[in-house]
Amino acid sequence: MDDETPVISIVVPVYNTERYLPACLESIDAQGVDSFEVILVDDGSTDGSPSICDAYCDGHDRASVIHKDNEGLLAARRDGLREARGLYVLSLDSDDALIDGCIQKVLAAIASTSADIISFNFTMDLRSLKPSLKVNLAPGIHSGCSYELVKSELCACDFNSVWNKVVRKDLFPCYEWYTERAGLMHGEDLCQLLPIFDMAKNLFHIDEPLYYYRQHDTNSTKLFRDKQIADWNYVSDELLRYATSWSVCSLQNANRGICRHYCDLDEILWDCELDAESKKHFDKTIKSEYHRRVSNCPDLVHGLVLSNNGIISHAARWGLGCYKRLRRIFT
């Protein structure tokens, strides 16, 4: 690898994504600048992904690969961070892609502002490049009171993805932090961002889609595992702890975000392939954990979904599903 210190380290955790990984790597090559390095972390893949990683690194001086046993996303990011030499780090999921010009625009923001965090919009449609991130966040630099509002947006869980943010490397938690939380399967991005946003002093937002998030049947957000409940319980408690120390607005948004995530868990549960009794058992657990943390839900629709009244709950779940589908069509 080139000895020159890169401005950005692109860390790409890889696990069984041979179908999408070539497009991901091609999107990196298409950036048209060379002020970055690429670190691929093969997290014990059992498909053709390791060979794709090796072939890519053989043809790129600024790329390297780590082959390791499977430990999960946070552990893969930890190992990538350990090898990263850049001043900033971009976490790119191996089934997603960068939009042309992403790195160039981020580099320009770094050069003009030296911001702690550079965030940007994303899209789920490569043809239209329609922005998918809907947050109350103006483009440009946010510091002081304005940055407090940014933290409150994070608490609402609409701004909680790691992959649409480029972060100064020294703001990431220590390696031990990742090891202790390596098994998280739900809410891991938010859990990682909370200490980062707590330490950062400012953020520069680019309000245009620079990242392509791919939706497909194997996304972790489409699957249900009982461990997800325990994981979100932990992340919810972390969110409340940070939000309480930040501001009243952050705490209000945290209540709303926690409600939304328990609702999402419930929706995933009822859409997955489990027997009826198991679904009822987990449904009861989700509602109990939610009510233990948030006494008054600020969002009526989501509150109804998590109601203990079965009839209301199922009707509201159906109505919320229709609402979400209509919103995707008309917005």
- How far is Cα 22 from Cα 193, in angstroms, rounded to an integer? 28
Helix (H) or strand (E) holding 251: helix 248-271
Please report which confidence band the pLDDT of residue 280 belongs to, taking 50, 70 and 90 as the band edges.
confident
Query: What mean pLDDT is reported for the chain?
Result: 87
**Which is more confident, 135 or 192?**
192
**How high is the pLDDT of residue 218?**
55
**How high is the pLDDT of residue 223?**
63
Assign 175 to helix, strand or coil. helix
Which tens digits make up the pLDDT trace of 104-134?
999 999 999 999 999 999 999 999 999 998 8
- How far is Cα 305 from Cα 323, in angstroms, rounded to an integer? 13
Q: Look up tokens 């947006």; give the residue.
A: 153
Q: Which two tokens stand for residue 3?
A: 């000895």
91: CB partners within 8 A, 6+ apart: 11, 13, 77, 80, 162, 163
Please report which confidence band the pLDDT of residue 299 belongs to, taking 50, 70 and 90 as the band edges.
very low
Please report which confidence band the pLDDT of residue 2 belongs to, taking 50, 70 and 90 as the band edges.
low
> Where along the chain do its domains lie?
8-219, 223-330
Q: Is-contact 9 84, C-beta < 8 A?
A: yes
**How high is the pLDDT of residue 217?**
62
- 84 CB neighbour count, 10 Å cutoff: 21
- How far is Cα 75 from Cα 108, in angstroms, rounded to an integer? 30
Helix (H) or strand (E) holding 271: helix 248-271
Least confident of 174-178, 183-187, 192-196: 183-187
- How far is Cα 218 from Cα 21, in angstroms, rounded to an integer? 14
295: CB partners within 8 A, 6+ apart: none
Strand locations in 169-240 (E):
202-212
Q: Which two tokens stand for residue 32?
A: 């048209």
Q: Which two tokens stand for residue 77?
A: 């990011």
Q: Which overall architecture, per CATH, does domain 8-219 show?
A: Alpha-Beta Complex (3.90)
Which tens digits make up the pLDDT trace of 10-23?
999 999 999 999 99
**Which one, of 151, 120, 118, 184, lies nearest residue 257 by Cα?**
151
Phi-psi group of 6: left, alpha or beta (phi > 0 → left; psi -120 to 50 → alpha; rest → beta): beta
Assign 44 to helix, strand or coil. coil
Least confident of 178-187, 214-223, 279-288: 214-223
Which tens digits make up the pLDDT trace of 231-260?
989 999 999 999 999 999 999 999 989 888
